[in-house]
Amino acid sequence: MAFNAPFWSPSQASAILFDWDGVIAETRLDFSAVTRKYYGERPAMLLEDAHTLSWDDRASLSRDLEDIELLGAQTARMIPGADAVLDWVKRAGTPWAVVSRNCKKSILRAAEVIGMSMPDIVRSRDDGDCYKPDPRALRETCEALSVAPAQTLLIGDYIYDMMGARRAGMRGALVRNSTEPGWALWLECYCASMDEFHRELTSPRDIVPWEYQETAREYGEDFLRGAHKLTLRLPERREPGVDAWVARAAALGIGGFAVRDAVFGPTIWKQNPSLDPSFMGFGMRATLRAFLLTRWPFASVYEDDGSALDAPAETRELPDFISMTIK
């Protein structure tokens, strides 16, 4: 099911990826002693910074992590409300998977302890060399489910999960009894418990997506709703360049861009450095679709058939133009 652009609801996700610890299972893992043992007092990510250790220490770290995780799995319990959420997902027929930084052996053992049937796809740190919040782990899981990241929801209980969602261009829901200072900017859906998240599924509401929150606060949700219905023709001469003009219009909620196709070549790239150079030699429509996808997935790029609105060339004029047009 597609999200109800320009708003969204967890109930509309085409696929759902679940973190494991703190979302489905409670295993009470404490890695603080291991962190001190291998990294001392310096800030470090246990898995990502393992390359700074000797080969012997890397092997030892892996064993220590697995021992802690397997010990926690022995006394695992189901997070309250997780069973109701999983029942909803199964009844809805929504594809789902588990994506965790834990070792697979501990995940499967914890599932046995809590009596849970696992999905076909369970991604752990044993599956490849990338883990959340690396977007590759999430995108590869979406590919295995045959679902686009932009139509996928990640449910997690930690900032790494929300970082991963942002990096992969997917929606994120934080489920946790409290948050830390500084996390708010990463969030678009927050629930204090899985019971509360279950209510989001059974009594869905329109949520302003992360990418439109500033626009909704400044101009209101009616402005956002109206802007999304508009398709603007990319002006021949823009101030500033293509990338900045499209980014500003997309941030204001514009739902469609009509583009006269041209080859994305070195001259355009020099003038628009935010565009992905790997698209050079392709058409501008494909280039702009890729540019928008992870940041403004609700925006579409169309061939210019003459029906789009002519828009101001200067981005500072766009808010007034949109307001006048949607009246």
User: So what's the pLDDT on residue 48?
Assistant: 86
Contact 252, 322 (CB under 8 A): yes
Residues 6+ apart with CB under 8 A from 225: 6, 7, 253
Residues 267 and 289 in one domain: yes
Residue-wise pLDDT tens for the chain (327 aa)? Answer: 456 889 999 999 999 999 999 999 999 999 999 999 999 988 888 888 999 999 999 999 999 999 999 999 999 999 999 999 999 999 999 999 999 999 999 999 999 999 999 999 999 999 988 889 999 999 999 999 999 999 999 999 999 999 999 999 999 999 998 888 889 888 889 999 999 999 999 999 999 999 999 999 999 999 999 999 999 999 887 667 889 999 999 999 999 999 988 899 998 898 888 999 999 999 999 999 999 988 999 999 999 998 999 999 999 999 999 999 998
Residue 3 belongs to a domain:
no
Q: What is the largest CA-CA distance in the chain?
A: 68
- The span from the CA of 24 to the CA of 79, in Å, is 5
Question: Which segments within 4-56 are labelled E, that is strand?
Answer: 15-18, 25-26
Contact 99, 141 (CB under 8 A): yes
Residue 5 belongs to a domain:
no
- The span from the CA of 226 to the CA of 6, in Å, is 9
Residues 39 and 83 in one domain: no
User: So what's the pLDDT on residue 1?
Assistant: 46
Contact 121, 238 (CB under 8 A): no
Residue 92 belongs to a domain:
yes
Show the domain range for 68. 29-74
- The span from the CA of 200 to the CA of 25, in Å, is 20
Contact 224, 212 (CB under 8 A): yes
Residues 202 and 84 in one domain: yes
Residue 38 belongs to a domain:
yes
Residue 4 belongs to a domain:
no
Residue 2 belongs to a domain:
no
> 3-state SS string over 249-304?
HHHCCCCEEEECCCECCHHHHHHCCCCCHHHECEEHHHHHHHHHHCCCCCCEEEEC
> Which two three-digit tokens encode residue 302?
């169309």
Domain CATH for 191? 3.40.50.1000
Residue 298 belongs to a domain:
yes
Cβ atoms within 10 Å, residue 178: 6
User: So what's the pLDDT on residue 13?
Assistant: 94
Residues 87 and 67 in one domain: no
Q: Which of 183, 207, 231 is the last residue of a domain?
A: 207
Domain CATH for 274? 3.40.50.720
pTM, two decimals, is 0.89
Spatial CA neighbour of 159 closest among 143, 179, 188, 177: 179
What is the tally of structural domains in the chain?
A: 3
Residues 102 and 219 in one domain: no
Residue 1 belongs to a domain:
no
User: So what's the pLDDT on residue 222?
Assistant: 95
Residues 81 and 68 in one domain: no
